[in-house]
């Protein structure tokens, strides 16, 4: 297996970085090839702009998704984007390693998503969900949180974890066609003991060693919808995907 880890944490000695390194070591020990993009260390540019295209199809008005398609077809994407796309295409599994900032990923990772998961190659028209451009590849969120698990239960103060992660799990990874594995969550990290942190790392190692046993989350299939994307029958509940 070829695994690509997209890592975003500003502190190299963070617990999130320790999880990233454990993933590298565990996967390589199992005989897998691993590549890592450490976005902060790379000083990855998260800002989508016209500068992402060495040659524009329309120099007067920027429609970013259309310029992505044009630049991909003419090999005129900016070099940093093209390099990350090569890793995405190479990989069988992509792990997104990050701390939760404001119920989402750090801005540098959001910028990676905006600039690298390009229109045309990875999605577009009706090429999404089970027809997305990354169909056949797997994706995993490996995230750290300051909150405790009970805070993200159905009646918790923050509401269900799946609601918080929906834009990532469904609106990003599921949308472009990944088989999305159940996320691995490290809870309450800044406030727990060294022993508790080691228990999380041990649990993460076991998770990675048993990736073949993980069932992907459920998302819509285009076969359940007509040409106008109206449901052909009463839809199944694909919202509470973390509980299935």
pLDDT in tens, 44-95: 999 999 999 999 999 999 999 999 999 999 999 999 999 999 999 999 999 9
The CATH class of 2-243 is alpha beta
**Percent of the chain beyond pLDDT 90?**
87
Q: What are the structural domain ranges in the chain?
A: 2-243
Q: What would the mean pLDDT of 4-22 be, rounded to a whole number?
A: 98
Q: What would the mean pLDDT of 102-129 be, rounded to a whole number?
A: 96
* Residue 166 CB coordination number (10 Å): 16
Q: What is the Cα–Cα distance from 57 to 149, expressed in whole angstroms?
A: 48
* Residue 11 CB coordination number (10 Å): 10
Q: What is the Cα–Cα distance from 129 to 151, expressed in whole angstroms?
A: 30
Alpha-carbon torsion (114, 118, 122, 125), positive or negative: positive
Tell me what pLDDT residue 118 has. Answer: 98
Tell me what pLDDT residue 117 has. Answer: 98
pLDDT in tens, 69-80: 999 999 999 999
Cα 214 to the chain's mean position, in Å? 16
Q: What is the Cα–Cα distance from 240 to 217, expressed in whole angstroms?
A: 10
pLDDT in tens, 154-192: 899 999 999 999 999 999 999 999 999 999 999 999 999
* Average pLDDT of the residues of the chain: 94
Give the pLDDT band of residue 243 (cuts 50, 70, 90): very low
Give the pLDDT band of residue 29 (cuts 50, 70, 90): very high
């Amino acid at each position: 297996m070829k695994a690509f880890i997209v890592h975003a944490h500003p502190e190299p000695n963070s617990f999130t970085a320790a999880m990233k390194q454990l993933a590298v070591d565990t996967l390589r020990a199992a005989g897998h090839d691993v590549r890592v993009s450490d976005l902060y260390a790379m000083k990855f540019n998260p800002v989508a702009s016209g500068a992402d295209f060495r040659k524009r199809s329309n120099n007067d008005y920027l429609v970013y998704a259309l310029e992505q398609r044009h630049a991909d077809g003419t090999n005129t994407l900016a070099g940093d984007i093209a390099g990350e796309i090569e890793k995405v295409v190479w990989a069988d599994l992509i792990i997104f390693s990050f701390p939760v900032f404001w119920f989402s990923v750090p801005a540098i990772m959001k910028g990676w998503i905006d600039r690298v998961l390009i229109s045309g190659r990875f999605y577009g028209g009706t090429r999404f969900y089970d027809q997305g451009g990354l169909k056949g590849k797997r994706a995993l969120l490996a995230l750290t949180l300051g909150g405790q698990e009970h805070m993200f239960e159905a009646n918790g103060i923050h509401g269900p974890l799946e609601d918080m992660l929906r834009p990532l799990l469904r609106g990003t990874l599921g949308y472009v066609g990944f088989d999305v594995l159940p996320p691995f969550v490290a809870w309450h990290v800044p406030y727990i003991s060294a022993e508790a942190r080691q228990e999380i790392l041990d649990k993460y190692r076991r998770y990675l060693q048993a990736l073949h046993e993980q069932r992907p989350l459920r998302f819509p299939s285009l076969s359940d919808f007509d040409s106008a994307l109206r449901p052909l029958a009463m839809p199944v509940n694909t919202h509470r995907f973390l509980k299935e």
